Chains A and B, each alone.
Chain A
Amino acid sequence: MALGYLRNSPRRITRGLLDSQFVESLVSPNPVERYIGLLDPTWSRRDVRAEVVGVDRQTPRSVTLTLQPNSNWAGFVPGQHVGLTVEIDGVLTTRYYSPASRPADKRLELTISAHPAGKVSNFLVKNARVGMILGLSPAEGEFVLPSSPPGELLLISGGSGITPMMSILRTLLGDEHAAPITFLHYARTGRDALYREELERLAAEYENLNLVTVLTRETGPKLISGRLSREQLKSIHGDHANAEAYVCGPESLIAAAESIWSQDQLEDKLHTELFSLPEPLVVTEDAVGSVRFTKSGVEVANDGQSLLVQAEQGGLSPRHGCRMGICHTCVCRLESGTVRNVRTGEVKTVSNELVQICVNAPVGDMEIDL
């Protein structure tokens, strides 16, 4: 114990010093990161950053990253997701992924599947390499097992929705969880099936694991095919009423599960997590939806005018200057939504980005930090 403390103490002293008012005064008005970054790009006082230490492409359309987070990383619960930030064409872009590793592992494992329109996923599948520095946000999400795992478990995932299931499964099996676990995974083809070898090895090793992989685009005498249905479920798992069910995947899978479980009035036994891209918004001339100013709690019906005008009509008085898109005094963080630039007509869907509210009008529902 004492030895461990001694070993850690130089680190603590350095940390304490870098956090001190003294050092802050020496580097003012810059954050201390600006200088430490010259030596160690992953170091930060508060931000979580990680270095890519392993890159594995287990299927042609995916990449599995092993990450070494810095000391600000506070861990996660199996099933949760983290924001992964990567620089693409000069823009820091964030998307959310569920770790597949166990919380007890020293390193974090993320498997990213390329979606046709996915900016981050396609970039990483193509360009991920060892040594890259990525940003991480603290883990969040309610799609987690209760602290004392339930008896019988039914895990269902589709495509890249396998990642939180891998974390749950690896954690439970590592903790010698004895109750039966049925893992039903949907992949398009055998080539696309993630973690296939590892799962087959686990199924051979652990008697309580019943592994079923459904290849939706392949047919064969020994294969189960087709999408999730009551009949299919019955043939795989006799009585799903006895199990606590966790479903993660695309919208169609979630919808199928919700329909089966609600017909059986078993909603409280079903836990779901949607893994998909937001639907692109259809842009019409008519203003629709509502604008929610999250800081002030004001909500107005979108009338198609600039966000600044709509905020003012809602009784707010945002900081602004020129009202013509020059001075950037009015920039605000747009939490989610689509905007149309009233000067150029350009339409852009953004999440958590700065926009000039004097020249941008909302297209449909939106949330803005005002």
Chain B
Amino acid sequence: MRFILRRLGFYLIAFWASITLNFLLPRFMPGDPVSRMFARSQDRMQPEQIEALRKLLGVDDRPLWEQYTDYLHNIFTGQMGVSISRFPTPVTEVISSQIGWTLLLGGTALVIAAVVGNLLGILAAWRRGGAVDSALPPVLVFIGSFPYFWLAMGALYLFGVVLGWFPIRHAFTAGLEPGFTWEFIGDVGAHLVLPALTIVLVSIGGWMLGMRNTMIATNSEDYITMAEAKGLRPGRIMLRYAARNAMLPSVTSFGMGLGFVVGGALLTEVVFAYPGVGYQLLNAVQGLDYPLMQGLFLTITAAVLLANFLVDILYVRLDPRVRSN
């Protein structure tokens, strides 16, 4: 219990540090949102309108500390303000209407990549030098080293445009009524295949190699030799003796990955026109949309910290050594 409390204290400080950074960083960027918007609209806005727009959007010239205390107050009362680039939609609405798709896409890809990658890593290490071990790692590393954008476009072109197997854009067919019907779920699934597949392809190599390497180290431990000498079934030794102990680093990566799901699918969402928050983040940064940026960064920060905290707790359960100090 003391361990958990101590960790909790650490996470509170980390949270404070990151929300402060979230506040400061955008404000150190050059320009301000209104002139940015003016520049983007090119000739469609009148210079005389700029002052009014600044007032309307609440872009203020108050001292930084005043804005900061306001910002803290707003965070703890759950008010994230109104998005500037999507004015007058509240930030919470912009995020909440789209984050589900990002979580679905990122979560599916993460789970598939982690599960399949780890299984492959276990197999590769167990049959060291076998077919899986010698053929797969170089292939996966090769695929993983492609620029993601390029790979996604290639997959989109080949499987979507040329072969026509998968839809090439959006999370579901435009015009379909969302709901828990088989038709809709099937449609969402079909739209999910290509974007998720490409993320899995580029990330699976890392999972596999990581697992394989720790597994190899574990395989040379005495208790494995002991288990073999006892005559246990190889499958049991592989999964319950070796893999269980080699699992720990993967649990950490999974926790980290879970946290990054929110912001991690940005390029995928751009390529596949997937309606998540990734593109929104890019847009917010480009448009200096402070409230939306803060909202998104806050969501990402919270997700990363929460995932890490859960992993910490899980560790106590998985690794008795953590408990003792």
A and B: partners? no
